[in-house]
Amino acid sequence: MKRPLVAGNWKMNGTLAETRELLGALSLEIESLAGTPVEILVIPPFTALETAAAMLRAGRLPIALGGQDLHWETKGAYTGEISGGMLRELGCTFVLVGHSERRTHFGEQGAVLRSKLEAALRDGLIPILCVGERLEERESARTEQVLDAQLDETLFAISPSAAETVVVAYEPVWAIGTGRTATPQQAEEAHRHIRRRISGRLGNDVGGRMRILYGGSVTAANAAELLSRPGVDGALVGGASLKATEFAGIVRGGSLRGA
């Protein structure tokens, strides 16, 4: 049985005071989640990582830490950038790669994302590779084609042995931050397609083992239904991860899956 993963991507939210408040509230929820099979991950902005890491350590909280992005080089003249090694140093074990906001606002795609995946793995981080179609692509029946192209230029462009470690997040762009969640059936279909593709390229073993998360307007109210679908191995959560009770509710929804 794969361990479900629920990840909270805080995006550009979380001053140090807010970070302390949110993790403090989350630590109160954690007790009620004791025994959950869900692996819990928070992904604060870079500037809050050290504070978050210290709090998680001090409270011995069973919560992993991740970065929202990384540069593909280990160091050098790349003003404003952060390397995988720097994230590791702060206690991160995961990193997002290719979130749709990186693709849309910062033009990331293709070779850049492939290099970032390779860098994450080189630096000992588990990449969470985000893929997903836009509304017009879904409406013109191109969802699978778009997902295939996104996987081809990233996951299938790195060495197969490296690719095994990656976590994939299916995040339909039209569902991100919109309150319009994919239906459980839409999520299940997309996950099935992605997994079939991975099995075809990397073998059934890897396809079966790889965790595929759903992301896009996941809330405590819809998590259990989404996460109970076959092949939906967890959630990548934006807005709802900023409220401890909501986020804990989503973890609870995922716990049913693991039961």
Identify the burial level of 29 via C-beta atoms within 10 angstroms of its C-beta, where 0-12 means exposed, 13-18 middle and 19 or more buried.
Answer: middle
Q: Which is nearer to ligand PGA, 26 or 202 (CB)?
A: 26
Structure tokens at 179: 């309150």
Which of 239, 244, 248, 255 is the binder for ligand PGA (CB under 6 A)? 239
Which of 218, 223, 226, 227 is the binder for ligand PGA (CB under 6 A)? 218
Stretch that binds ligand PGA, among 71-79, 85-93, 190-198, 232-240 (CB under 6 A): 232-240
The helix (run of H) or strand (run of E) holding residue 227 is helix 220-227
Which of 217, 231, 247, 251 is the binder for ligand PGA (CB under 6 A)? 217
Distances (CA, A) of 142 to 99, 171, 235, 236: 19, 15, 23, 23
Question: Using CB under 6 A, which residues numbered 66 to 125 contact ligand PGA?
Answer: none
Q: How far is the CB of 220 from ligand PGA (least distance, A)?
A: 12
- Residue 209's Cβ-side half-sphere holds a number of Cα atoms within 13 Å equal to 9
Q: How far is the CB of 96 from ligand PGA (least distance, A)?
A: 8
User: Beta strand 126-131 with 234-237: parallel, antiparallel or unpaired?
Assistant: unpaired
x/- map, 174-193, ligand PGA, by CB under 6 A: --xx----------------
Asked about 171 being catalytic, the answer comes back as yes
Structure tokens at 74: 């280990």
Residue, CB closest to ligand PGA: 238
Asked about 189 being catalytic, the answer comes back as no
- Main-chain dihedrals φ then ψ at residue 242, nearest 5 degrees: -90, -5
Question: Do 168 and 211 meet the contact criterion of CB atoms below 8 Å apart?
Answer: yes
User: Could you give the dihedral angle defined by the CA atoms of residues 43, 48, 54 and 59, in that order, rounded to the nearest 10 degrees?
Assistant: -60
Stretch that binds ligand PGA, among 44-52, 54-62, 223-231, 237-245 (CB under 6 A): 237-245
Question: Using CB under 6 A, which residues numbered 114 to 173 contact ligand PGA?
Answer: 171
- Dihedral of CA 174/177/180/182: which sign? positive
Q: How far is the CB of 170 from ligand PGA (least distance, A)?
A: 11
x/- map, 240-259, ligand PGA, by CB under 6 A: x-------------------
The helix (run of H) or strand (run of E) holding residue 105 is helix 100-106
Which of 215, 231, 234, 254 is the binder for ligand PGA (CB under 6 A)? 215
Catalytic residues: 99, 171
Kindly list the residues in this chain that would bind ligand PGA in the complex (CB under 6 A). Answer: 9, 171, 176-177, 215-218, 236-240
